[in-house]
Chain A
Amino acid sequence: MTVTRAAWLRQAVEVCLVVLLPAAIISAIATDLGIYVWTTVVIYIIFAMGTNVLVGWSGATSFGQAAYFGTGAYAVALLRERELPNEVLLVLAVLASAVVALTLGILTLRAVGLRFGIITLVFGQLIYLVVFRNDGLGSETGLYPVARSTVLGQDVSDQRTFFWVVVSVLTIVAFVLRRMYQSSFGLTLAAMRDDPLRTVALGLPIRWLRLISFVLAGAVAGLAGGLFAQQQGSASPSMLSFALSGHIILICLLGGRFRFWGAAAGAIVFTWAEYHLRSLTDATDLYLGALLLVIVIAMPDGLAKLWDLTTVALRSRSRTSDRDEVSV
């Protein structure tokens, strides 16, 4: 089964178009503060797309993804004195969070559905408590300062340059995830999400499929965490909190977890709404909650549904329809 060159190319073009084009516009017109906020948004996009491998692709909702995001952040923060280049730092962050995800993944393998969400939440809180009580990890103040280490030998501490570092990491992650999404592995995950019993009857070991997507989601979360510690300049316990785990699930569902780009759209809208509400009112929670309520009730499959309603062209049932259109 040779993979046609056209497929690689089409995926690369799509990812570049969807990521690099808007990034170029942002970099051109955004103010210094705007660039900082957008860098945070892009990091949330990476975190959300990683989490969606679990929540959207495999249909297993974990309420403890902040534990891996925080592991990546603290891994980078702990190595802050060693002046390692970013290529090494981020790889170590990914490895650290992948190992933690593997361990907890094996432990929580048997739990399914809501119980999986509950046990991952409890483990997430345990990790939060361990870090918070630990003096070596800076307890409530966290570990600081975390400098933005060099990329390919270049200094990237300037906010706009760091924005492009984060955007290029997103491009790579999005490309890899896009390939996986359209690979046979991606199809087996979609099958498991749809009907685990049927998937087993075809001989596919769903325990392994779940574990691999769990570790994959954890690793990408760790990568985002590693970048976030450099963006913020420190690693703090709030990066491991239950609130963050809840928000990232919210973002995946908000954007539309059955769409490849859904999580990214969710991250943009959620952060954009929270940012503007915070500066406009003193009751952000109230308005943010109301907005989420409307979306949850009115749009079962998230914002992606909004896009379908605005698509005027009638979609023909093309023979090789991409799973995106199908899985609305």
Chain B
Amino acid sequence: MTTAVLEATSVSKSFGQVHALSDVSLQIAAGETLGVIGPNGAGKSTLFGVLAGEHRASSGSVVLHGRDITGWNASRVARSGLGRTFQVPRVFTRLTAAQNVEVALVAARHRLGRMTDNLTHDRAMESAAAALLDRVGLASAAGIEAAHLGQGDRKLLELAMALGRGAHVLLLDEPTAGMGRGEARRLVEVVQDLRTVQPELAVLVTAHHMEVILALADRVVLLADGAVRVVGTPQDVAEHPETRRIYLGEDLL
């Protein structure tokens, strides 16, 4: 087992009496894609929030590249190479797609953005942004205001921004939610292409469409009621009685 890029050990998180996560441990190696599945309320989004620094873990630890990032705030976590997308995509609606990516590129280069450079005539920045947009299939949308982009394109834009940010660990929070079959297939292809271009990229993805998980994930974790139930290859987890029980609800019969 190669050393883990991102490792969560016995992470628990409760909001008051609600125990969203209890004793969750998982690892992702460089170049590996880990799928996280589970019914609504299983704790997937909370897990993402804790890893991305949006929530503070009640107990347990999170280690990124061997550094303990438990309790770091979101911007510090992002600065140390962990990029994320949001379940409901959040983009800078008043800026063009190109400018959205440029913000990520600037964030990668300087802590605050320099006052002395000039973006409107920065060929290097523009071509870097264009390349990233091309990589996610949004090359033609560069000059369009993000407000006019559809749900699917916004998710792809978030992906480009995470890459622009120089993330080498990607948290994709239900990237295909609300997408049609065609759009979902396009996103899967984009993520697969990414794996060939950046082999060392580690990806953590959650989704409800099983085919997306099967297409992307090397390993799958089944989460239910805030705890890890099953871990294994997509096939093992798909056929595992526990998965069938949780998803198909046999015990309800």
In Å, the complex CA distance between A190 and B106 comes to 13
Chain A residues within an 8 Å CB radius of B76: 203
Closest B residue by C-beta to A319: B143
How far apart are A80's CB and chain B's nearest CB, in angstroms? 33
Could you list 14 A-B pairs, sorted by A, with CB under 8 Å? A3-B122, A4-B123, A183-B117, A184-B106, A190-B92, A200-B78, A201-B84, A203-B107, A203-B108, A204-B113, A318-B143, A319-B126, A322-B120, A326-B96
Q: Which of A7, A187, A203, A205 contacts B99 (CB 8 A)?
A: A187
Which A residues have a C-beta under 8 Å from some C-beta of B?
A: 1, 3-4, 6-8, 10-11, 179-180, 182-188, 190-191, 193-195, 197-206, 208-209, 212, 258, 317-323, 326-327
Cβ of A7 and Cβ of B103 under 8 Å apart? no
The answer to whether A321 and B75 touch (CB under 8 A), given A184-B110, A185-B114, A209-B112, is no
In Å, the complex CA distance between A183 and B116 comes to 6
Cβ of A202 and Cβ of B93 under 8 Å apart? no
Q: Which of B94, B104, B115, B144 contacts A202 (CB 8 A)?
A: B104
Closest A residue by C-beta to B142: A319
In Å, the complex CA distance between A206 and B121 comes to 25
Q: Which of A186, A203, A321, A326 contacts B79 (CB 8 A)?
A: A203
Which B residues have a C-beta under 8 Å from some C-beta of A?
A: 52, 73-76, 78-79, 84, 86, 90-96, 98-99, 102-104, 106-126, 142-145, 161, 165
Cβ of B118 and Cβ of A7 under 8 Å apart? yes
Chain A residues within an 8 Å CB radius of B103: 187-188, 191, 199, 202, 204
In Å, the complex CA distance between A203 and B77 comes to 7
Closest A residue by C-beta to B84: A201
In Å, the complex CA distance between A204 and B106 comes to 9
Cβ of B143 and Cβ of A327 under 8 Å apart? no
Chain A residues within an 8 Å CB radius of B90: 195, 197-198, 201
Chain B residues within an 8 Å CB radius of A180: 115
Closest A residue by C-beta to B107: A202
The answer to whether A179 and B116 touch (CB under 8 A), given A4-B121, A198-B91, A202-B103, is yes
In Å, the complex CA distance between A3 and B109 comes to 15
Cβ of A188 and Cβ of B106 under 8 Å apart? yes
Closest B residue by C-beta to A4: B121
Chain B residues within an 8 Å CB radius of A199: 103
- Besides the contacts A6-B121, A188-B107, A203-B107, what 7 more A-B pairs have beta carbons closer than 8 Å? A4-B118, A7-B118, A184-B110, A195-B92, A203-B78, A204-B103, A326-B95
Chain B residues within an 8 Å CB radius of A8: 118
How far apart are B240's CB and chain A's nearest CB, in angstroms? 34
Cβ of A179 and Cβ of B145 under 8 Å apart? no
Cβ of B161 and Cβ of A202 under 8 Å apart? yes
Chain B residues within an 8 Å CB radius of A186: 113, 115, 119
How far apart are A190's CB and chain B's nearest CB, in angstroms? 6
Closest A residue by C-beta to B108: A203
Cβ of A183 and Cβ of B78 under 8 Å apart? no
Cβ of A184 and Cβ of B113 under 8 Å apart? yes
In Å, the complex CA distance between A293 and B73 comes to 43
